[in-house]
Structure 1
Amino acid sequence: MLKIMLSMIFCSLAAFASSSASTTQIPDLTMTWIGFASLIIFVIGYYFVAAEEKYHIDKAKPALFIGTFIFILIAIYYALNDLNMDLVHTQAQHLILEIAEIFFFLFVAMTYIESLIHMNVFDRLKYNLVSKGFTYRKLFWATGFIAFFLSPIADNLTTALILSTVLITIEKDRRDFLVPGAINIVVAANAGGAWSPFGDITTLMAWTAKKGAFSDFLFLFPAAIVGYLITAFLLSRFVPNEVPVFDATKEKRPELGDGAKTIMGLGIFTIVCAVISHQVLHLPAMWGMMFGLALLKVYSYGLNRKYGKDHFNIFDSIAKIENNTLLFFFGILAAVGGLYFLGWLGLAAIVYDPSVLGPTWSNIGVGFLSAIVDNIPVMSAVLKASPDMGLEQWMLVTLTAGIGGSMISFGSAAGVGVMGKLHGIYTFGSHMKYAWTIVLGYFASIGVWYLQYQVLGIGH
């Protein structure tokens, strides 16, 4: 219920704003039946997204429904009232383009991850960790650091899913290891994703919206890692310093598939292509990613010729992509785009006015809102509202939206994913027991940002 109320409060901020943020061509429909109906549909739909585990309904279903239905209702309203239908068509086209850029970017990234899974790259990682004879505490730090540095490349959700599988492989019963370890992975994945355009959907959204160059996001590294290290240090105090049982006679060392190292190299080259496409060639970042996918397809053809068609099938990797994540992303951004088109979100920049909260406090608040509502719709709303801010403030909201979701278990995709992997162990209640460590890390990250950008002037 709290989640619903805050969603409504966030969306309703626009009702008290002036209409200066909207273009004169698009009518403000917030106080009409279509405005209220769309807002109610969004709130109800988002309730089912948030209550995914309660109703056992995939979050993509309500998200896709509200995203498509809201725009259909808007088109019907325009037709009934003889309004300019070209506005609906243009808005839908712009929204499709915006979503497609990120949709195909994630599509390629997920394909590479599934290809590496097929090649046993992550199974080898699991084996190497559990076979070293590390204590639970050392494994806690190892999985955390891997999550922090893997997330900027593989994205926070994929990283969290992979490493939570590692946790449950190491130990299935010790909650005093599993719960802090799960929180550690979620925090590390979200913090690692905050300083890379590839690490989180929110940073990817900010980058593709041209709120900063690729290198600008890298300046968030000090704030991200300091906040993570403080949380991890506090959490590690609760982890047992014992060695888990490992039977080398029963565990066989996984062998990497032929071509695995080349696919890893192609993945890195694909990221370079995406950066060059966006920063140098002024093409969408997904153009470079799709070129990387083409290279992977060509390489898979060579592997099939050499080792047989069953060795590596690129289409098998594509088939294993989590399409529900992509469809959720499409639906939620379409819904937020609809609310913006009606006038609800485009005026929310009022809270950024210095006479209200101002950009710094508003952006700090975004982190807490992200934990409750989810960072994707919150970041989408901020980008749609597009308040007049400098680069340092756009970097702050990218940081807070990315790491703020860690404060509650379901506040980020990484947290939701780990809850699914460690069902009944990593829960809302078990997370909140240690939430104070995450809040301290959150404010430490903001402190580093303030020192770096506002005091020292580094990163402008």
Structure 2
Amino acid sequence: MAAAAKLPIFLAVGLLFAPPAHAAEAPAVLGVPVEFILFALTLLGVALFHHHTLAVALSGLFTITLYKLLVTGFHAGSGLSGLFGHLQHEWVVLTNLLGLLLGFSLLSRHFEESHIPKILPRWLPDDWKGGFMLLVMVFVLSSFLDNIAAALIGGTVAASVFHRRVHIGYLAAIVAASNAGGSGSVVGDTTTTMMWIDGVNPVDVIHAYAAAIAALLFFGVFAARQQQAFAPIQKDASAGIRADWARVAIVVWILAAAIGTNVIVNTRYAEFSDAFPFLGAAVWIALLLAAPLRKPEWSLMPEAVKGSVFLLSLVLCASMMPVEKLPAASWQTAFGLGFISAVFDNIPLTALALKQGGYDWGGLAYAVGFGGSMIWFGSSAGVALSNLFPEARSVGAWLKSGWHVAVAYIIGFFVMLAVVGWHPHAPHKTTPAMQMNVQPH
């Protein structure tokens, strides 16, 4: 898609977040706050210059910060004191997210080197159902493993069993399966992990699976048949490979440490949850304690740091948006955010929604998590998989071949509404003015 074609999409993002006519006047262009325009341009740069995403994100962060310093000020005040106050408010969330992103990259390599991904294909059927079962595996893996790792594992297995001839529609399905599988688990997706860090109860996102499973059943069948027609499955399970159960135990240990720490902090010491990055620290303590058993792959850190700084830059940009001007939290808004997340990276989009509060967190988790699958750069999993398969970096080809992902998103969302309903939670970290924005059940 050409830049000229993408620009209306990003302007639409800004218009969705535009303040109502009666709101107090603020610097705006055609009613769109300047902060949102700068943010949209940053994301447009990320989409267009995917070889320079870190530089674009940091440039956008610098520009937005400078604008806030010179023109509007921050939520904590104006000038440098306002900036320092803002950073003081955000540092725990950002540090927790950094610890989890880096820690999960090492956890993912532990899982990969456990040989479980190489053993899994032994049980795949030889027809289209084999491709479908691989998507189910990615879905399940993503429920307890980071969705980026699940997508990469699925892509690695697909490259093997399809001899590198992987249909773009099937690549879109791998990303969709990883995002769907992670949508109901606070350890399965960066967006749900952000909710968890921000104080959302893990139980409150589980019902996203009502939508995710329905979506998987739809796009999974179509994508598997696409792939079977394009390049039939060639099951070549390596004989003699055995699982490294020590590494499997390390993965379980790290996840248990993260989950246990979060439960203890939020149930017994909730008043301290904003004072220290307990969750990120727990993951790293568990990693280091397990190091004598199996050494982590430290060589992954330079690239992991670059990727983490990229995402944190977007999250910090999102934290400076005038979220009090967002539309009221409702199922209609969440449904729309799913489409927007395809072009408006779901990491900062989740940060904006968390700042506003008042959503049904399971509904939001499905919308922003799965919705990002509709275009290759709409989610971190899609960006990561496109590094393995550069041919996926075409919006037109992704939309044409992966049409079933967009249709599945709609089907899944309304199945969830019919089965579970919409149950918004009161804003847990918002101002009284924002609480008036929440619609009743």
TM-score for the superposition, normalised by structure 2: 0.81
Q: Is the 8 A contact 1:114 1:320 kept in 2?
A: no
The AA in structure 2 aligned to 1:385 is Q
Structure-1 separation of matches of 2:282 and 2:348 = 29
The AA in structure 2 aligned to 1:443 is I
Structure-2 separation of matches of 1:416 and 1:84 = 36
Structure 1 residues 160 and 286, CA gap change in structure 2 (3 angstroms) = farther
Structure 1 residues 64 and 245, CA gap change in structure 2 (3 angstroms) = same
Q: Flag structure 1 segments of 5+ consecutive residues without an equivalent.
A: 21-27, 304-311, 353-357
Identify the match of residue 235 of structure 1 among 220, 223, 243.
223
Greater mean alpha carbon deviation, residues 97-106 or residues 256-265: 256-265
Structure number with larger C-alpha Rg: 1
Q: What is aligned with 2:417?
A: 450
The size of the alignment, in residue pairs, is: 411
Identify the match of residue 88 of structure 1 among 83, 88, 104.
83
Q: What is aligned with 2:263?
A: 276
Q: Is the 8 A contact 1:273 1:288 kept in 2?
A: no
Q: What is aligned with 2:118?
A: 126
The AA in structure 2 aligned to 1:126 is K
The AA in structure 2 aligned to 1:270 is A
Q: What is aligned with 1:329?
A: 311
Q: Is the 8 A contact 1:191 1:228 kept in 2?
A: yes
Q: Is the 8 A contact 1:371 1:407 kept in 2?
A: yes
Q: What are the residue-to-residue correspondences of 1:174-253 with 2, within 5 Å?
A: 174-175=165-166, 178-210=167-199, 212-240=200-228, 244-245=233-234, 251=238, 253=240
Structure-1 separation of matches of 2:236 and 2:257 = 39
The AA in structure 1 aligned to 2:307 is T
Structure 1 residues 227 and 40, CA gap change in structure 2 (3 angstroms) = closer
TM-score for the superposition, normalised by structure 1: 0.78
Shift >6 Å, 4+ stretches: none
Identify the match of residue 11 of structure 2 among 5, 8, 13.
8
Q: What is aligned with 1:364?
A: 335
SS in structure 1 of the partner of residue 143 of structure 2: helix
Structure-2 separation of matches of 1:327 and 1:455 = 34
Structure-2 separation of matches of 1:112 and 1:289 = 13
Deviation at 1:245, TM superposition (A): 4.5
The AA in structure 2 aligned to 1:179 is I
Q: Flag structure 2 segments of 5+ consecutive residues without an equivalent.
A: 425-440
Say if 2:104 is the partner of 1:137.
no
The AA in structure 2 aligned to 1:110 is S
**1:208-265 alpha-carbon deviations (Å, 9 max, x no partner):** 333x4111111222221112112212333334278644667xx564454573233133
Structure-2 separation of matches of 1:83 and 1:294 = 38
Q: What is aligned with 1:51?
A: 48
Alpha-carbon RMSD across the aligned residues, in angstroms, is 3.3
SS in structure 2 of the partner of residue 135 of structure 1: coil
Higher relative contact order (CA 8 A, sep 6+): 1
**1:39-87 alpha-carbon deviations (Å, 9 max, x no partner):** 554343322201134xx32x222112221342244335589xx956533
Say if 2:265 is the partner of 1:265.
no
**Percent of aligned pairs with the same residue?**
20
**1:77-126 alpha-carbon deviations (Å, 9 max, x no partner):** 589xx956533321222123332222222222222223333xx22x4422
Say if 2:397 is the partner of 1:430.
yes
Q: Is the 8 A contact 2:171 2:392 kept in 1?
A: no
The AA in structure 2 aligned to 1:157 is I
